[in-house]
Structure 1
């Protein structure tokens, strides 16, 4: 059994740490103090058919145990529909925040979203940025840390040229290719699985 210290780590970090560890060992205990982590790890266990246990380890601290079973890693069977394209998908980002409400929270959520993409078992084929989303791919963007490994892993990244022009950023693109709306529509039209962090 492997013990993991995830104290002061907020989700999705404990989930990602757990998934990585369970690729190498059959059982882990992960120490967490983010009050959402035990429930999120329980959901991970249900999705991946892991045994799950949790006990309080002090005030606002929990020790979660996950153990592989014979059925671990076997997702529930799904029915193929007319949209079925295997596991292929693209990500479309149209703003530099995620959700509506507090802008600081929205920016933190989008950071978590992009970081979580890097840890997926199946990476997107493409990431398409338009409108405020183009701010992620330019010099000085703090999203580049997570976008670069995605590009190095073969994910194609595109930014709308008209949007870059609007924000005066066309000469500051640090990653990916400059695209146009015709090409963006064509890529989206050909892909039935589109993930967009609203």
Structure 2
């Protein structure tokens, strides 16, 4: 029977659960099993999404009290793909990432900034096929929650294939995590990974 590595990520803040899971998998043999213990929904979502994005199998078990056990098996195909990714040169058009760190556009008059931001998103749909991700951090996350004037445009962009990521720490800070209406709650590791792979980054 294959030994199982246990990784306790309780009480760790974003993005530590993802980083520690990544490091643990990197040092494990194909077929090995990893049990990650998390104690909040953000860590549960972020770790599961990271593991699945790498092609590994993951099963989440609710232990009660907000604690989840994530049973992960390192997959041979995923390991081969990760190795290939290191040596392959990118080809073709590189992705465009929209990075938004505020709910208003520009500095000066915030009322004008909100109007401009609305116009920005209305125009953005014309470039949807070139955009891979839209990332929200700081007060920018307010644009992805209930009541946002940009919500309809964002949902339309998501339907066109654009991935929308909102910083989980930022959503918690503003008390709007439960109001997220488009895209997914994300973490700093994933955000930096997307930015690092971007062919071009634009900010309003």
TM-score between the two structures when normalised by the length of structure 1: 0.55
Aligned residue runs from structure 1 range 167-186, under 5 A:
167-186=174-193
Is 1:154 aligned to 2:157, yes or no? no
Is 1:188 aligned to 2:195, yes or no? yes
Q: Which runs of 5+ in 1 are unaligned?
A: 1-82
Match of 1:130 in 2: 137
Identify which of 149, 172, 186 aligns with 1:165: 172
Asked if 2 retains the 8 angstrom alpha-carbon contact of 1:96 and 1:136, the reply is: yes
C-alpha separation in 2, matches of 1:174 and 1:98: 21
C-alpha separation in 1, matches of 2:139 and 2:105: 11
Is 1:91 aligned to 2:106, yes or no? no
C-alpha separation in 2, matches of 1:180 and 1:121: 23
* CA distance 1:117–1:131, change in 2 (3 Å): same
Q: Give, in angstroms, the shift of residue 145 of structure 1.
A: 1.3
Cα deviation, 1:102-133, whole Å, max 9, x if unaligned, reads 11111111111111111227341100001011
C-alpha separation in 2, matches of 1:125 and 1:180: 17
C-alpha separation in 2, matches of 1:96 and 1:148: 17
Helix, strand or coil at the partner of 1:140: coil
* CA distance 1:125–1:138, change in 2 (3 Å): same
Asked if 1 retains the 8 angstrom alpha-carbon contact of 2:100 and 2:137, the reply is: yes
Q: In proportion to residue count, which structure has more helix?
A: 2
TM-score between the two structures when normalised by the length of structure 2: 0.53
RCO higher in 1 or 2 (8 Å CA, sep ≥ 6)? Answer: 2
Helix, strand or coil at the partner of 1:122: helix
The aligned length equals: 116
User: Structure 1 segments of 4 or more deviating over 4 A?
Assistant: none
C-alpha separation in 2, matches of 1:85 and 1:166: 39
Match of 2:147 in 1: 140
* CA distance 1:139–1:121, change in 2 (3 Å): closer
CA RMSD of aligned residues (A): 2.0
